[in-house]
Amino acid sequence: MSTVIQVDNISKQYRLGEVSTGTIAHDVNRWWHRIRGNEDPYLKIGEENERTQKGGSDYVWALKNISFDVQQGEVLGIIGRNGAGKSTLLKILSRTTVPTFGEVKIKGRVASLLEVGTGFHPELTGRDNIFLNGAILGMTKQEIKRKFDEIVDFAGVERYIDTPVKRYSSGMYVRLAFAVAAHLEPEILIVDEVLAVGDAEFQKKCLGKMKDVSDKDGRTVLFVSHNMVAVKSLCSKAMYLKNGMVVEAGETSHVINNYLSNSQNKSLLQFYEDADHAPGNDKAKLRRIEVCPELDTPIDSVTVKTKLNIEIEFWNFEEGKMINLTIFINTYAGECIFANGSQVANLSSGLHKAVCVIPANFLNDEIYSISLMIVGDASYPICFFENIISFEVHEDRENSGWHGKWPGFIRPKLDFRILTT
Amino acid sequence: MESKATLSLKDLDKNDPAHWDLVIKPHHNLFDLNLREIWRYRDLVWLFVRRDFAAQYKQTILGPVWHVIQPLLTTLIFLFLFGTVARIGTDGIEPILFYMSGITIWNYFSACLTTTSNTFISNANIFGKVYFPRLVLPVSVVISNIIRFGIQFGLLLVFMIVYAFKGVHISINFYWIFIPVLVVIMAGIGLGLGIIISSLTTKYRDMSLLLTFAIQLAMYITPVAYPLSFLKGKSYQWIVTINPLTSIVEAFRFCLFGKGTVTMQGMIYSISFMIASLVLGALLFNKVEKDFMDTV
């Protein structure tokens, strides 16, 4: 085996905020330093990329001093929270941007799937788009012709092949797009979260295809995903990124466990010690909201089988007020799945506590966010805290026969039996 | 021999620069244009050209007829404004043919320039996801516009034949072989200026706002609606003369109709301008293409 990707100490700096008239002042200053032979003044500053905290500088390091090697035939899973630098790293490897410092060396042809259907034109037919998309991904016309039937077959869209893709259902669109990409023959394949789309059957097909690509053909795959089950079943090695730095790289299940235990504690609590700085208004304020999973050991991950207690502490400033709480469970995209209200209680002025229990076997493996409303007289909102906290529920990894994602936003365990006589 | 071969295989160490196909680093050689890579992606150029054509007039009743409607209407407007109202002469060329020839070559230039100058911004979504040589897009724009030019030129020929039948003297002569050369120069200037502007607009969009009316103004300082001879002896003639497009439009008419003001200095000036804008454009484009996604 030989090294096919060598990443040598790369860093990438981004400027936050808008590009506008203010930017030109920095550009002029940078240029002034350069003609005098000095170092770029803005490269010395910049902070760790922690998106939840307000920073003092407009510059952040999306990646900082990343080094790693990938051997031929290896499937490397890259994991980390949103904003950890995964996509930036893939962008550099797929040459859509360059690092600020450092160097990447690659042997072999690279194809990147940062998105499926790049360059698909809605007005063109499926046939035309296969050719266009294939060429954008680096195939020649001859290669595409050779694989055309195979692509159409894999996507399962024979009937629509001469219809403009704007008439396709979104599922068909994605299947066609992935089919083109899956038939690329690069030595190195870079894949970013494309599995989040398509139906379960198709996802299974995609994962199978990726496994084939590495097992049979000895090709190298870099795979970014939030689906830990997929990463675990596909990847021989994994790398955990956090705030633009490598936390750990190595054996897949070890890295995944480290990631899960590390990523949970952090976002599961919002706590405001001091009423002056707490969110809310002069009638009520939020002190604490915490998602407390009932786990056997603290490093266990929250799975679909975990019971969750959502604990809330809030201040009521109006003596003798009739108050109830409403909790909204939202998808990560912000859509409310369901809401639930507490009983109406006559509260004294001061600190109060509430608990909402989400039973085990109820949520799916998704990222959820919670909004909370404090309601007065069971009729009008006193204050509303939108997406105040988010948490992730994972697939129960003991049940590993099925690699795809279970469909739906909730996954209640119902009484569902085959009746036998 | 055999032992030597194994030895050299072992020597293919990862520290050996020849081992790697690709090195991605922050800075690179300004003149590293990689034209060979564009050649490797020639299928993509062609597919982009096809896309432009196939997609442009989808869901219109007249379809490709629109390619000829636009120059026809412009010709009529010019005929009215410059011919009937302003009474500007046309070097003795039949007015309809005079305006139509000017519009045909001018349209080609302005289409090349406006479309290439939007390369980065309008294709940011593709560029952000996949790597392919970025120059592929502006090159495909120039080619698809050549086809459009061909259609409009065909229309012009139809009109010339009609006028020939009506007794206007029109002859095909030796100078016709220079027409493709003029088109290439026009394309070169359009592409060169276009990629300069597209490189400059990735971060600051001011230039693209300026461009829309700059092109309109440029048409008036190019002898599209009037012959260069009309300005003879006028104090502001120099503005039109320093315009590198002037000689090309005049030469285009000279080739077609044998009438126009063409000088050797003028042609050399236009060609040098084309080379200069292409070189500068390629350098700027090359500098910007690597990481424009961060600022676009």
**pLDDT, tens digit, 9 for 90 and up, residues A61-102:** 888 888 999 998 889 999 887 778 888 898 888 888 888 888
CA–CA distances in Å: residue A313 to residues A271, A328, A388: 9, 16, 13
Average pLDDT over residues A95-117: 83
Domain ranges of chain B: 2-294
Q: Which of B40, B131, B202 to mutate to test the interface with A (most CBs of A within 10 A)?
A: B131
Does residue A408 lie in a domain region?
Answer: no
Q: Of all helices (H) and strands (E), which one includes residue B18? A: none
Does residue A33 lie in a domain region?
Answer: no
The C-alpha of B212 sits at a distance from chain A's nearest C-alpha, in angstroms, of 21
> Chain B: which residues have CB within 8 Å of chain A?
14, 19-26, 41, 43-44, 46-48, 50-51, 54-55, 58-59, 125-132, 203-204, 290-291, 293-295
Q: State which residues form the domain around A240.
A: 3-9+65-262
Cβ separation of A119 and B14 shorter than 8 Å?
no
Residue of B nearest to A5 (CA): B20
Residue B274: predicted pLDDT:
95
Pairing of strands A284-293, A308-316: antiparallel
- Using the Cβ of A67 and the Cβ atoms of chain B, whether some distance falls under 8 Å is answered with no
Query: What sign does the dihedral B122-B124-B126-B131 (CA atoms) show?
Result: positive
The C-alpha of A354 sits at a distance from chain B's nearest C-alpha, in angstroms, of 46
Q: How many domains are there within chain A?
A: 2
Q: Are residues A234 and A106 both part of a single domain? A: yes
Q: Which of A21, A40, A97, A190 to mutate to test the interface with B (most CBs of B within 10 A)?
A: A97
Question: For residues A392 and A149, what is the distance between their CA atoms, to the nearest angstrom?
Answer: 40
Cβ separation of B54 and A123 shorter than 8 Å?
yes
Chain B positions touching A164 (Cβ under 8 A) are 58
CB A365 within 8 A of CB A200: no
Q: Is the pLDDT of residue A324 over 90?
A: yes
Question: For residues A293 and B107, what is the distance between their CA atoms, to the nearest angstrom?
Answer: 68
Cβ separation of A3 and B54 shorter than 8 Å?
no
Does residue A123 lie in a domain region?
Answer: yes
How many other C-beta atoms lie within 10 A of the C-beta of residue B83? 17
Residue of A nearest to B123 (CA): A119
Q: List Cβ<8 Å contacts ≥24 apart for A169-173.
A: A170/A197, A171/A198, A171/A199, A171/A202, A173/A117, A173/A120
pLDDT tens across A171-191, in order? 788 888 888 887 877 888 888
Q: Are residues A174 and A196 both part of a single domain? A: yes
Burial string for A177-187 (b: 16+ CB within 10 Å, else e) reads: bbbbbbbbebb
CB A141 within 8 A of CB A84: no
Residue B11: predicted pLDDT:
42
Residue B182: predicted pLDDT:
92
| Residue recorded with tokens 């409310």 | A336
Residue A257: predicted pLDDT:
76
Residue of B nearest to A144 (CA): B43
Regarding predicted confidence, which is higher, A323 or A37? A323
Cβ separation of A104 and B23 shorter than 8 Å?
yes
Q: Are residues A119 and A256 both part of a single domain? A: yes
Q: Are residues A217 and A272 both part of a single domain? A: no
Question: For residues A139 and A111, what is the distance between their CA atoms, to the nearest angstrom?
Answer: 10
Q: Are residues A121 and A193 both part of a single domain? A: yes
pLDDT tens across A370-418, in order? 889 999 998 999 989 887 887 888 877 665 555 667 788 899 989 999 9
Residue B103: predicted pLDDT:
92
CB B243 within 8 A of CB B232: no
Cα A52–Cα A267–Cα A254 angle in degrees, nearest 5: 110
The C-alpha of A253 sits at a distance from chain B's nearest C-alpha, in angstroms, of 29
Cβ separation of B43 and A103 shorter than 8 Å?
no
Cβ separation of A98 and B290 shorter than 8 Å?
yes
Task: With CA atoms as reference, report the closest residue to A160 among A145, A178, A147, A175.
Answer: A175
Does residue A166 lie in a domain region?
Answer: yes
Question: For residues A240 and A228, what is the distance between their CA atoms, to the nearest angstrom?
Answer: 12
Chain B positions touching A2 (Cβ under 8 A) are 14
Q: Are residues A253 and A348 both part of a single domain? A: no
Task: With CA atoms as reference, report the closest residue to A354 among A324, A322, A401, A313.
Answer: A313
Question: For residues A299 and B77, what is the distance between their CA atoms, to the nearest angstrom?
Answer: 78
Measured in degrees and rounded to the nearest 5, phi and psi for residue B138 equal -60, -35
Among candidate residues A262, A280, A311, the one where a domain is terminated:
A262
Helix (H, G, I), strand (E, B) or coil at A14: strand
- Using the Cβ of A110 and the Cβ atoms of chain B, whether some distance falls under 8 Å is answered with yes
Chain A positions touching B48 (Cβ under 8 A) are 132
Q: Are residues A245 and A281 both part of a single domain? A: no
Does residue A297 lie in a domain region?
Answer: yes
Does residue A109 lie in a domain region?
Answer: yes
Burial string for A288-315 (b: 16+ CB within 10 Å, else e) reads: bbebebeeeeeeebbbbebebebebbbb
Helix (H, G, I), strand (E, B) or coil at B82: helix
| Residue recorded with tokens 């003369």 | B241
CB A3 within 8 A of CB B14: yes
Q: Are residues A215 and A78 both part of a single domain? A: yes
The C-alpha of A27 sits at a distance from chain B's nearest C-alpha, in angstroms, of 11
Picking from B44, B129, B293, the nearest residue to A118 by CB comes out as B129
The C-alpha of B66 sits at a distance from chain A's nearest C-alpha, in angstroms, of 18
Does residue A31 lie in a domain region?
Answer: no
Chain A positions touching B29 (Cβ under 8 A) are none
- Which DSSP symbol is given to B80? I
Picking from B21, B46, B126, the nearest residue to A106 by CB comes out as B21
Which tokens hold the place of A88? 């930036």
Question: Which stretch of A87-96, A120-129, A219-228, A235-244 has the lowest confidence by average pLDDT?
Answer: A219-228
Residue A266: predicted pLDDT:
47
> Any idea what the CATH number is for the domain that residue A287 is in?
2.70.50.60
Chain A positions touching B288 (Cβ under 8 A) are none
Pairing of strands A284-293, A269-271: antiparallel
- Using the Cβ of A100 and the Cβ atoms of chain B, whether some distance falls under 8 Å is answered with yes
Which tokens hold the place of B27? 């800075």
Cβ separation of A118 and B130 shorter than 8 Å?
yes
Chain B positions touching A24 (Cβ under 8 A) are 204
Residue of B nearest to A142 (CA): B43
Q: Which of B12, B20, B136, B144 to mutate to test the interface with A (most CBs of A within 10 A)?
A: B20
Cβ separation of B25 and A115 shorter than 8 Å?
no
Q: Are residues A130 and A215 both part of a single domain? A: yes
The C-alpha of A99 sits at a distance from chain B's nearest C-alpha, in angstroms, of 5
C-alpha B295: how far from its chain's center? 26
Question: For residues A26 and A22, what is the distance between their CA atoms, to the nearest angstrom?
Answer: 7
CB B95 within 8 A of CB B76: no
Helix (H, G, I), strand (E, B) or coil at A85: coil
Regarding predicted confidence, which is higher, A421 or B199? B199
Q: Is the pLDDT of residue A141 over 80?
A: yes
Instruction: Give me the count of residues in chain B.
Output: 296
In the predicted model, residues of chain B with pLDDT beneath 50 are: 1-14
Which distant-in-sequence residues (6+ apart) come within 8 Å of A341 by Cβ?
A: A324, A325, A326, A327, A375
Question: For residues B141 and B126, what is the distance between their CA atoms, to the nearest angstrom?
Answer: 16
Helix runs in A166-272, H state only: 170-182, 200-215, 228-234, 252-267
The C-alpha of B198 sits at a distance from chain A's nearest C-alpha, in angstroms, of 17
Percent of chain A with pLDDT over 90: 21
Chain B positions touching A146 (Cβ under 8 A) are none
Among candidate residues A262, A286, A321, the one where a domain is terminated:
A262
Q: Are residues A234 and A355 both part of a single domain? A: no
Residue B8: predicted pLDDT:
39
Question: For residues B51 and B123, what is the distance between their CA atoms, to the nearest angstrom?
Answer: 14
The C-alpha of A93 sits at a distance from chain B's nearest C-alpha, in angstroms, of 8
Chain B positions touching A95 (Cβ under 8 A) are 22, 24, 131
Helix runs in A40-186, H state only: 86-93, 126-136, 141-155, 170-182
Among candidate residues A262, A285, A302, the one where a domain is terminated:
A262
